[in-house]
Structure 1
Amino acid sequence: MRALYTAATGMKAQEKSVEVISNNVANMRTTGFKRQMIHFQDLLYDHQRRAGAPTSDQNTQAPAGVFVGSGTRVVATPRIMSQGNITQTERTYDLAIRGEGFFRVQMPDGRTAYARDGGFETDAQGRIVTKEGYLVDPGITIPQDATSVAINQQGQVSALLPGNAQPQLLGQISLARFINKTGLESIGDNLYLETAGSGPAIEGTPGGEGFGNLQQGYLEESNVNAVTEIAAMIQAQRAYELNSKIITGADQMLSSTAQMYRA
């Protein structure tokens, strides 16, 4: 019976929906995390009678056809790249992007990754790095004797050095943005990679045209909304239950049919 297989695709799709929701909820406290949503698409149809098919010898036509679908499938789980709340941490190397853009991160294998998580540290050489120790690109080194390190909204890093009355410029943090940022590939560690779907990275400086500015001593929170996720979870659960009931109903119909044959 076709209904068994159709309902099974619905249960499988809702199972995937719950997995996406659970990942969103698990990352509610993850810095810079962007929630995902799920998109479904109906499967192939059995065209038992097409619209416009002749219905008599007098050239009458069927105004509507008979199309029986075969279920649904998951086609995409795009990220919602909306701005998360900005919270104060008062840590020198914590940076939040207010607006468009991603930090550029140099991976150990030479690839460039991108991040909204600006929870940075300095390593043993004084270089600004991520919590995993990956170098923030372009590399900026803070001298050991530097004091009062400041990062302005345009990404300029400066500090007071011995023998200088005025802060000295140490480097410039740059950002990248994408035509289709939902096309970025998530690789974990709050990092993304450029893909053919995202388009090439467009580099620029904070506060420049099309780019947000930086906030020193702040971090961007996850954009996951607990109420939204709970509502989505309830919808997924109900849809799963309905599909399971269809399977139960189809099974009962097959059982009745089998009993009729035995009789």
Structure 2
Amino acid sequence: MSFQQGLSGLNSSSKNLDIIGHNIANANTVGMKASRAEFSEVYASSLNASGGTNAGIGVTVAATTQVFTQGNITVTGNDLDVAINGNGFYELTMPNGTMAYSRAGMFKLNNEGQVVTNIGGQLMGYPTDPAGTRLSFTAQPLSLPTGGPIPARATSSIAAEFNLDARAPVAATATPPTPLSKYGTSVVAYDPQGLEIPVGLAFEKTGVNQWNVYTSVNGSDPAASVPFTLAFNIDGTLSSTSVIPPLTLASPNDPAVTFPVELNLGSVTQFGIDFAVNNLEQDGYRPGELTSLKINEGGVITASYSNGQTRAAGQIALVNFRNVQGLQPTGNGNWQANYATGEPVHGAPGEGKFGSLRAGALEDSNIDITSELVSMMTAQRAYQANAQTIKTQDQVFSTLLNLR
């Protein structure tokens, strides 16, 4: 009797309902990919059969596959929530030392400044220089500088861009004489410990197309300094004959500690308009504490500090596989690679076939609740139909046994 066909149908429909129920239960799980049951028929084959149709003996679940389509991206506003828009997986080093792969970008910082998942998997990335340029394609656990302030940097260069009024009279011949404080500007420099050093520049016209520059350090009188001369061409640009000596700055903490600072005045002009400072900057800074993190589409993590500085702290790595269907789900939004997947192919977000990243957002599951509910009703009817075939076979068997 054909109880076997109905029993195989019940088993297969039950497994299908389990898979559908698992999908529905994880409809709100970040990075979840829907699974589906794939069935195949089973036939009995007789030895030395020369022809004819072999009898079917039921159905089996040939495989449970995952659908790696893109899920919707939902904005969360959390800086360490990251969604992959396109192909690729995050690479994670698990606490037991094994490698795992995920699409769930819900990352946290642990007490050592490492970027980790909820179960302690460390996010892998590439080292970068402070400007964000990738230094190598050797992935390593990402670690952010949360342990202490970044060190101070002593000023090594001061750049100024301003215009000196060509209409100004020679200071010594003006009536009354032009005071040294009429044309000037100032900037704050820093010593190697990040202490502030006020630096002033004062300008005095000494002749046609010629100006003296006086300097002031730590509030000193600029008139007491040894000036140097700026000469201008007839078109108002700085003459190449101008020699601009470096400044010598002293630390407020220890005046015996001095260091030279390059003075860049190459963009200074002398036009017939009012004196104006257009740009004044220096390259030193005080120590700074970490204040925020940002991740761009290329996966570069940029740290911002309380001293106004920003620097890259690494780049998130992505991997892909020749056969993503071979990935083995292990729970917690992770998969493991095996022989069927092939070796992982490493890359960076937005390069080649790898998707870009969206910081402050998460990828939703790709499960369609409506489709799953319809599939569940279909599977339920299939289960009922297989149960009915067993019932019918039982009735036929009973009739045979009750023949008189």
- The TM-score with structure 2 as length reference comes to 0.59
Deviation at 1:113, TM superposition (A): 0.4
* Runs of 4+, deviation exceeding 6 Å: 48-51
Map of 1:186 onto structure 2 = 329
- One-letter amino acid matched to 1:131: N
- Report if the CA contact (8 A) 1:99-1:212 is conserved: yes
Map of 1:34 onto structure 2 = 33
Deviation at 1:49, TM superposition (A): 11
The percentage of counterpart residues that share the same residue type is: 33
Map of 2:86 onto structure 1 = 99
Question: What is the CA–CA distance in structure 1 between the aligned matches of 2:118 and 2:92, rounded to whole Å?
Answer: 11
- One-letter amino acid matched to 1:143: P
Question: What is the CA–CA distance in structure 1 between the aligned matches of 2:53 and 2:343, rounded to whole Å?
Answer: 46
Question: What is the CA–CA distance in structure 1 between the aligned matches of 2:354 and 2:309, rounded to whole Å?
Answer: 28
- One-letter amino acid matched to 1:202: V
Among 184, 187, 196, the residue aligned to 2:339:
196
Deviations 1:172-192 (A, max 9, x none): 111001111111011111100
Map of 1:167 onto structure 2 = 310
Bigger mean CA offset, 66-75 vs 87-96: 66-75
| 1:22 counterpart = 2:21 | yes
Map of 2:298 onto structure 1 = 154
Among 85, 89, 96, the residue aligned to 2:72:
85
- Tell me, what secondary structure is at the counterpart of 1:38? strand
Deviations 1:107-128 (A, max 9, x none): 1121110000000010111211
Question: What is the CA–CA distance in structure 1 between the aligned matches of 2:4 and 2:314, rounded to whole Å?
Answer: 60
- Tell me, what secondary structure is at the counterpart of 1:100? coil
CA RMSD in angstroms, aligned pairs only: 1.6
Consecutive unaligned residues in structure 1, runs of 5 or more: 54-64
| 1:9 counterpart = 2:8 | yes
- Report if the CA contact (8 A) 1:150-1:157 is conserved: yes
- Tell me, what secondary structure is at the counterpart of 2:55? strand
Question: What is the CA–CA distance in structure 2 between the aligned matches of 1:179 and 1:167, rounded to whole Å?
Answer: 38
Question: What is the CA–CA distance in structure 2 between the aligned matches of 1:149 and 1:155, rounded to whole Å?
Answer: 12
Deviations 1:143-172 (A, max 9, x none): 233123111100101112344x44101111
Deviation at 1:195, TM superposition (A): 1.1
Question: What is the CA–CA distance in structure 2 between the aligned matches of 1:14 and 1:48, rounded to whole Å?
Answer: 30
- One-letter amino acid matched to 1:86: I
Question: What is the CA–CA distance in structure 1 between the aligned matches of 2:98 and 2:142, rounded to whole Å?
Answer: 18
Question: What is the CA–CA distance in structure 2 between the aligned matches of 1:256 and 1:48, rounded to whole Å?
Answer: 32
- Tell me, what secondary structure is at the counterpart of 2:340? coil
Map of 1:73 onto structure 2 = 60
Question: What is the CA–CA distance in structure 2 between the aligned matches of 1:239 and 1:39, rounded to whole Å?
Answer: 14
Q: How many residues are paired up?
A: 247
- One-letter amino acid matched to 1:214: L
- One-letter amino acid matched to 1:105: L
- Report if the CA contact (8 A) 2:43-2:54 is conserved: no
| 1:118 counterpart = 2:261 | no
Map of 1:225 onto structure 2 = 368
Question: What is the CA–CA distance in structure 2 between the aligned matches of 1:46 and 1:7, rounded to whole Å?
Answer: 19
- Tell me, what secondary structure is at the counterpart of 1:240? helix
Among 131, 134, 141, the residue aligned to 2:118:
131
Deviation at 1:231, TM superposition (A): 1.1
Question: What is the CA–CA distance in structure 1 between the aligned matches of 2:46 and 2:297, rounded to whole Å?
Answer: 60
- Report if the CA contact (8 A) 2:95-2:120 is conserved: no
Q: Which has the higher helix share?
A: 1
- The TM-score with structure 1 as length reference comes to 0.90
Question: What is the CA–CA distance in structure 2 between the aligned matches of 1:160 and 1:85, rounded to whole Å?
Answer: 30
* Aligned 1:198-213 pairs, distance under 5 A: 198-213=341-356
Question: What is the CA–CA distance in structure 2 between the aligned matches of 1:233 and 1:88, rounded to whole Å?
Answer: 31
Question: What is the CA–CA distance in structure 2 between the aligned matches of 1:128 and 1:109, rounded to whole Å?
Answer: 16
Bigger mean CA offset, 207-216 vs 123-132: 123-132
